[in-house]
Every structure is written in structure tokens, then in C-alpha cells.
């Protein structure tokens, strides 16, 4: 699959020299990251490194003090979050943020609220249930009664119902049992193989590096290391700090 835009070298999503401050605290200190249309890219780092802030800035939820974000070749400056979502930039937030009082089916339908293409919506609904058969078994169940892993499947499934051009995932494995972590990452790979590029923030560095093409290591708001996921995983500093070796 070739990249979107002015040729194969054009990223589908790029943040250049991004600076974000919360009061006197510089959360991001001029980071540059890119995502090509055929990639899963992961951001790893300790708590407070700036990983989630990066996703929030990309989606326009926090304003950058400096820098530029480009999505599908165009600057997102001044574009409100809801328009970015409608253009295909979709975030699955940390903590899932499902509608606990709605059923699984209703949650999935909420993901397609801005769409009018009924036939394609039905196709995507069937796709989500193929990807996560557990949701099909729970389709009428109230979302708040699902297990943590099932809620994460639902959050990703709801995001897919918007037919994203880029999927942003914030800590998808947080709090999940190892077997469910494996299930979630297998699904992320399948989503990628079906044509959706993924930018992944993840504290489980082992899983993130195993299931991605490239990686950025963030430390206190700066990119400390970048490269192929295999090269980053082999770095002695990364092994010691993030892989428990």
C-alpha cells in the first residue's frame, strides 16, 4: 500500500517541532514524529514522557504553542476536533470512554453517528463483529457490565465504525490480563493489514515493539530515540529501561 498524498514519501500524519505547555510545564519540547500510510508506529516511554499529550495535540484537544501537525498532506491548524474526526482522525482514549448505559450494539452505532452510507455501515458492523466475536456474543448487553478486555474491544470497534483514515490508540492494553493483551494486539495488526495506519501509545513496550513497524522513545517531552521497532527493541538502554532486561 502506497502512502497518501504527493507520492510515497509523504506521511499520512506528521507532527513537526511540536511544543505543548501546561502552564509553566513544557510537556512536549519540540518533538517530530511521522506515520506513513502502511505503518503501525508506537510511542513508548515512562509516565509523564508526553505520549498521551502527543495524541491529544494531534487531535486538537490541547493547543500546541509551536509546531505544525499535518494530516493527509494538509495542516490541521485551526481545524476543530470534530472536523478532524469527520476527516478520519479517530482516537481510542485511555480508559476506553464507552457509553456504559448503552448496549454493545448502541455503542457501535454511536461510532457511525456522522455517517449516512447505510450499506457501508452494515459492512463495517459485520467487520467489527468478525474482528471481535466476543462482542457479537454480548451484542444486547449493557456496555458497563462488560469485562475490561471486552470494553477495550468495544472502544476499538466503535472507533472502526467511523471508518478512520488513521487510528490513534492510547494505552489499549492498560489493566488487561496477558491473554487479552495478546488478543487486542492481534486485532490491531489485523486492522493494520486491512489498510488502516495506526499510531499507538503504549506502556507495554514489549507488546508495542513486537506489533509495530517503527517506534519513538519519548523521555520528558523529547524524542530520545527513534527507528525500526526491531532496532529500538535491541537498544541496550531500551532493554534496561523498558523491557525489563
197 within domain boundaries: yes
Average pLDDT over residues 204-216: 96
61 within domain boundaries: no
Cα–Cα distance measured from residue 202 to residue 219, given in angstroms and rounded to the nearest whole number: 14
Taking phi over 0 as left and psi of -120 to 50 as alpha, with beta for the rest, 5 belongs to left
16 within domain boundaries: no
13 within domain boundaries: no
Query: What percent of the chain clears pLDDT 70, i.e. is strictly above it?
Result: 96
Q: Tell me the C-alpha to C-alpha distance, in Å, between residue 233 and each of 17, 216, 239.
A: 25, 11, 7
What is the predicted pLDDT for the residue at 245? 62
Residue 8 has pLDDT above 80, yes or no: no
Q: What would the pLDDT profile of 45-59 be if each residue is shown by its tens digit?
A: 998 899 999 999 999
What is the predicted pLDDT for the residue at 24? 85
30 within domain boundaries: no
- Give the total number of structural domains in the chain: 1
Domain hosting 109: range is 38-50+80-242
pTM above 0.85, yes or no: yes
144 within domain boundaries: yes
Q: What is the CATH number of the domain that holds 44?
A: 3.40.50.300
27 within domain boundaries: no
Q: What is the per-residue burial (b if ≥16 Cβ within 10 Å, else e) of 203-223? A: bbbebbbebbbbbbbbeebeb
Residue 137 has pLDDT above 60, yes or no: yes
14 within domain boundaries: no
Name residue, grid cell 500500500: 1
Write down the mean pLDDT value for the chain. Answer: 92
Average pLDDT over residues 181-206: 95
What is the predicted pLDDT for the residue at 42? 98
Residue 200 has pLDDT above 90, yes or no: yes
Q: What is the per-residue burial (b if ≥16 Cβ within 10 Å, else e) of 84-94? A: bbebbbbbbbb
Average pLDDT over residues 197-217: 96
Amino acid at each position: 500500500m502506497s502512502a497518501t498524498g504527493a507520492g510515497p514519501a509523504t506521511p499520512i500524519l506528521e507532527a513537526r517541532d511540536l511544543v505543548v505547555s501546561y502552564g509553566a510545564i513544557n510537556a512536549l519540547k519540540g518533538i517530530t514524529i511521522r506515520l506513513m500510510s502502511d505503518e503501525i508506529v508506537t510511542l513508548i516511554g515512562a509516565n509523564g514522557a508526553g505520549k498521551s499529550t502527543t495524541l491529544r495535540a494531534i487531535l486538537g484537544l490541547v493547543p500546541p504553542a509551536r509546531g505544525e501537525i499535518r494530516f493527509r498532506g494538509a495542516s490541521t491548524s485551526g481545524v476543530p476536533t470534530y472536523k478532524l474526526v469527520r476527516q478520519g482522525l479517530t482516537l481510542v482514549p485511555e480508559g476506553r470512554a464507552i457509553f456504559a448505559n448503552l448496549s454493545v450494539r448502541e455503542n457501535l452505532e454511536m461510532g457511525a453517528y456522522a455517517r449516512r452510507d447505510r450499506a457501508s455501515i452494515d459492512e463495517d458492523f459485520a467487520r467489527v463483529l468478525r474482528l471481535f466475536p466476543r462482542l457479537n456474543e454480548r451484542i444486547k448487553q449493557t456496555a458497563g457490565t462488560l469485562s475490561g478486555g471486552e470494553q477495550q474491544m468495544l472502544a476499538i470497534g466503535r472507533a472502526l465504525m467511523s471508518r478512520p483514515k488513521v487510528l490513534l490508540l492510547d494505552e489499549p492494553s492498560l489493566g488487561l490480563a496477558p491473554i487479552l493483551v495478546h488478543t487486542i494486539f492481534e486485532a490491531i495488526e489485523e486492522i493494520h493489514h486491512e489498510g488502516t495506519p495506526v499510531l499507538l501509545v503504549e506502556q507495554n513496550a514489549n507488546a508495542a515493539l513486537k506489533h509495530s513497524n517503527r517506534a519513538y522513545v519519548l523521555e520528558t517531552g523529547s524524542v530520545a530515540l527513534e527507528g525500526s521497532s526491531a532496532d529500538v527493541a535491541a537498544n541496550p538502554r531500551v532493554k534496561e529501561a523498558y523491557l525489563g532486561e
